[in-house]
Chain A
Amino acid sequence: MATRIGILALQGDFARHAAVLRRLGAEAVEIRDSGQLDDCRGLILPGGESTTLAKLMNRYRFYEPLREFARRRPVMGTCAGAILAAGRIDDPRVEPLALIDIAVRRNAYGRQVDSFITEVAAPCLGEPPAFRAIFIRAPKIVACGPQTETLITFEDEPIMVRQGPVLVLTFHPELTSDSRIHRLFLNMVENQA
């Protein structure tokens, strides 16, 4: 049976994540109600606007159910999703879920005209050695706790970090045709007892 992965679908590019997961043979479910989480073996927090997502998560009481989910099952956060998953955020407008012991700074590279695409070395993904990383008004991971493992860096700063079942990255693999990061996440889900 296909592995069922939830994607938080309150706002953002959740449909792009769903398309990648389906290409990899997984089942993707758009989550708009926390009750839907029960049937999912993993969860993706997508890119979008972190202020909007945080407000809707508050309004629809997602914070506790998501924390509870992450204690038992893997979660991947990309860009805004990484901001929400962080332990500390530089901006009081966004309440952290605190799923992973990192601190983030929002829009750390500047405004949209500073958004960029670059090849980063990604030995954790096997061959080929590079990954084409798309950064859109991206955050920076400015501090990592001792339990975290940095998987990919750019200009000596961490851009993909893992702590147990929680994987966060500041760029957008769902916007490329390279599905290796989603494959890595599916492996985390499938290896979770």
Chain B
Amino acid sequence: MEKGTFETKVGLAEMLKGGVIMDVTNADQAKIAEDAGAVAVMALERIPADIRQAGGVARMSDPAMIQEIQKEVSIPVMAKCRIGHFVEAQILQELKIDFIDESEVLTPADEVNHIDKHAFRAPFVCGCRNLGEALRRIGEGAAMIRTKGEPGTGNIVEAVRHMRQVMGEIRRLSALPADELMAFAKELAAPYELVRKTAELGKLPVPNFAAGGVATPADAALMMQLGAESVFVGSGIFRSQDPARRAKAIVQAVTHYNDPRVLLEVSIGLGEAMAGLEIKDIPQEAQMQYRGW
């Protein structure tokens, strides 16, 4: 019997397709998310918008709060560890977390190396800004990729940039003859075998989700139409006026992402979205997307 293999890890990512993964900070929010139809929750002490506001070092959450959330819901529970902090990841695996997010939302623990994710039985999701970064993370064992976007801003512009970048590079790659793949791999600084596989499939070899700045049903559907296979919503739900209603609307928008009739219907009267931030007002060194490589 095989357990914790790359195939079982990617298998769970496949099951989460066409769904919404919501950030929650306590059992009550987790219940709201599950009732709204979330496919999974991301358990963390503070949503990205609050982490951004609070400053200081952001670390893995207290296992006690994660356990409370695991007790509350029957859907998969994810949690974040710092980039390169493989001991936080060991602790999360011991907690039987269903997916570990090696996340730029937390303060990196290693500025050179990401975690060797092949060494774990639990699956990992990692962020990326472009195809090279996505394939490096898959090379390290990530079973799911998401855009980084700019977390905690409620501003979709960076997630759009990153998804267009990844999809555009895949389209370019798919048109290349075999003898140009190595040079392209060199340009991307990505493992050759994964470059070849991506060219062959015409898509990433693992599910490709969107994250970082989703605040409305329209944002979620936009990411799906651009090629995302599911959507993470961080601060966008519990920073809004009516989280339960907005959460339900975003779930429906992801299912019917290509149906403007449904998108209109679910967008009506949701109350105020989270306030949001202009990217140019955040100094580059304070932007989370530049953490990791």
Contact = CB atoms under 8 A, between A and B. Distances in A.
B15 A136 contact: yes
B7 A11 contact: no
B174 to A, nearest CB: 17
Nearest to A116: B3
Main secondary structure of the interface of A (DSSP, over half): loop
Interface in B110-143: 121-123
B74 interface: yes
B245 to A, nearest CB: 13
Interface size class on chain A is: 35 or more
Given A51-B74, A52-B37, A136 B12 contact: yes
Interface stretch (A13-21, A65-73, A158-166): A13-21
Interface string A9-48: 1111111100000000000000010000000000000011
A11 B1 contact: no
B88 interface: no
Contact of A49 (B75, B96, B255): B75
A51 B37 contact: yes
Given A117-B1, A175-B7, A137 B259 contact: no
Interface string B1-16: 1111101110110111
A80 interface: yes
B251 interface: yes
Interface in B1-53: 1-5, 7-9, 11-12, 14-19, 34-40
Contact of A113 (B14, B36, B75, B122): B122
A32 B3 contact: no
B251 A93 contact: no
B98 interface: yes
Contacts of B254: 11
B255 A10 contact: yes
Contacts of A11: 17-19, 37, 39, 254-255
Among A13, A52, A106, the one with the most B-chain Cβ atoms within 10 Å of its Cβ is: A52
A107 B74 contact: yes
A114 interface: yes
Interface residues of B, number: 39
A12 B1 CA distance: 25
Contacts of B9: 112
B191 interface: no
Contacts of B40: 49
B11 A110 contact: no
A56 interface: yes
Contacts of A79: 15
Contact of A52 (B39, B122, B123): B39
Contact of A112 (B1, B19, B98, B255): B98
B15 A49 contact: yes
B252 interface: yes
Nearest to A14: B18
B74 A93 contact: yes
B11 A175 contact: yes
Interface of A: 9-16, 32, 47-49, 51-52, 55-56, 59, 79-80, 91, 93, 106-107, 110-118, 134, 136-137, 172, 175
14 contacts: A9-B18, A15-B17, A32-B256, A49-B15, A51-B34, A55-B251, A56-B251, A107-B74, A116-B2, A116-B8, A117-B3, A118-B1, A134-B8, A175-B11
Given A14-B18, A115-B11, 8 more contacts: A9-B255, A13-B14, A13-B15, A48-B18, A55-B35, A111-B76, A117-B2, A136-B11
